[in-house]
Each structure stands twice: as C-alpha cells, then as structure tokens.
Structure 1
Amino acid sequence: MKRKLISSGSAFEDQIGYSRAVVVGDMIFVSGTTGYDYDTMSISDDIVEQTEQCIRNIDTALHEADSSLVDVVRVTYILPVAKEFEKCWPVLKKYFGGIKPAATMISAGLADDKMKIEIEVTAVKTS
C-alpha cells in the first residue's frame, strides 16, 4: 500500500526524522502536535491557546490528507502537568464533542518546557 508523507515545514521533522502525518490507504496517523504557530515559529504561554493551536495544526495536516477533524477516531493528549488538563476541556469539547473519538490522556515530559500540551490523532477517511 502506498504511503503519503505530510510535512508541517518544521525543522524538527528533518532533524529527528518524522512526518507531521502519514497516510496509508484510508488511515491517517498524525504525529504528536504541539501548540507552535509555524507561521511565526512562536508558542503561547497559555495552555488553552496552545490547545487551540494544536488543533489548528492537526486540522491543517488532515486537510492535506483530504480529511478533516470529523474523521478522527483516536486521540492522545500528553501534558507535563496532569492537573492542567481540565483547562483544555472546553476547547477539546468544541472540536471533538460531536465526534467523540476514543481518547487517552498521559502525563509526561515534553521536548521543550514551553510546551504545555501535545496531541496525537488517528483518523479514518469516511468519504
């Protein structure tokens, strides 16, 4: 089966050796995505703003894969500070409340102390 690689343009992709997303058949695997705004290469200090930007970054990758957030079937949230997760809930409900993908939240360190959340999704093209 053919693989399509999708890049966000982040220098980390070449430095580490990964793609923002990989499409195989109807499956789309989106790498852990942080709240960096790749247009400005900046990141907010606010976890809610980072969560919004994570979703925008994921949505961009999904659109490049001819998909969208409605196709998300699995989501993993990674936060260095677990007690901050509840602050993200309104944003997550806004985007995933009607979709209700299978979900997991993990508390773990992230690559940069500025990062307050990382989100990874798997999607299946339904159209």
Structure 2
Amino acid sequence: MNVQRVSTGGVWEKKVGYCRALRTGNFVFVSGTAPVKDGQVVAPGNAYLQARRCFEIVKESLEKLDCPLSAVVRTRMFVTDVSRWEEYGRAHQEFFGDFPPTTAMLGIGSLVDPEMMIEVEVDAIVG
C-alpha cells in the first residue's frame, strides 16, 4: 500500500515520532495541529486567530497531498475554553463553510503549551 507523509518540521513531530498528515489511497488524515509558526505559539489569548492558524496549517498540509479542503469529511477541535466556541467556529466556517464536514468541538483541560487554546484534527476522502 502506498503511503505519502507530510511533515511541517515541527519540533514535536520528530520528538514524538509522527507526521503532520498522511495519505493512503483515497484516505487522508491530519494529526493534531496546534497554532504554531516558526516554533512559537501564534496569538496567545486570541481564540479566533489561533484557530485560523491551525486551519492554515491543515490546508497547506492537505495541498501537499493533492487533497482540497472540499474533501474534508470530519474535523475535531480540542479547545481549552469551550465558552469561546463562537471564535473557533468562525474560523472553522471561513475554511469549511462552502462544504461543511462533520465536526466536534471538545473542551479539554490543557494542551502541550499553556498558551495554546486549540488543536485540530482532520480526516478527508479524496476522489
């Protein structure tokens, strides 16, 4: 079975031993994606901008696997403050509003870095 993997070069990928995204056949899976750029957490305290950054990374990773956003069938948002659901949801809608996938938003206690407010996972089916 042919497997394609994408790495963003994030510090956790190498330390933990995972890739950002993987495609096997028509199935594409994106690992938990945090709001990071150049090794730093983006927009501490800003739920909307952190969510946007996660979806930007997801989109870039999918593109490397020839997978459009319209092929996404499921998203999962793990958030540290679920009361800010509208901010996370606004970013989600901006990326997926034209072809809505199934989704879940789960309130959790914390993420790897205390400045992170959201982490996103995505599944897609191409073709």
Q: TM-score scaled to structure 2, two decimals?
A: 0.92
Q: Find the counterpart in structure 2 of residue 41 from structure 1.
A: 39
| Counterpart code for 2:43 | S
Q: TM-score scaled to structure 1, two decimals?
A: 0.92
1:28-76 superposed Cα distances (whole Å, 9 cap, x missing partner): 1000101111xx3222111111111111100110011011211100000
Instruction: Look up the SS of the partner of 2:5 in the other structure.
Output: strand
**Number of residue pairs matched by the alignment:** 124
Q: How far apart, CA to CA, are the structure 1 residues paired with 2:107 and 2:66?
A: 31
| Counterpart code for 1:80 | T
Q: How far apart, CA to CA, are the structure 2 residues paired with 1:111 and 1:92?
A: 22
| Counterpart code for 1:12 | W
Runs of 4+ off more than 6 Å? none
* RMSD, matched Cα: 1.1
Q: Find the counterpart in structure 1 of residue 122 from structure 2.
A: 121
Q: How far apart, CA to CA, are the structure 1 residues paired with 2:4 and 2:87?
A: 35
Q: How far apart, CA to CA, are the structure 2 residues paired with 1:10 and 1:89?
A: 25
Any stretches of 5+ residues in structure 1 without a counterpart?
none
Instruction: Look up the SS of the partner of 2:36 in the other structure.
Output: coil
Q: Find the counterpart in structure 2 of residue 112 from structure 1.
A: 113
Q: How far apart, CA to CA, are the structure 2 residues paired with 1:9 and 1:47?
A: 24
Q: Percent identity, aligned pairs only?
A: 28
Q: How far apart, CA to CA, are the structure 1 residues paired with 2:18 and 2:120?
A: 15
Any stretches of 5+ residues in structure 2 without a counterpart?
none
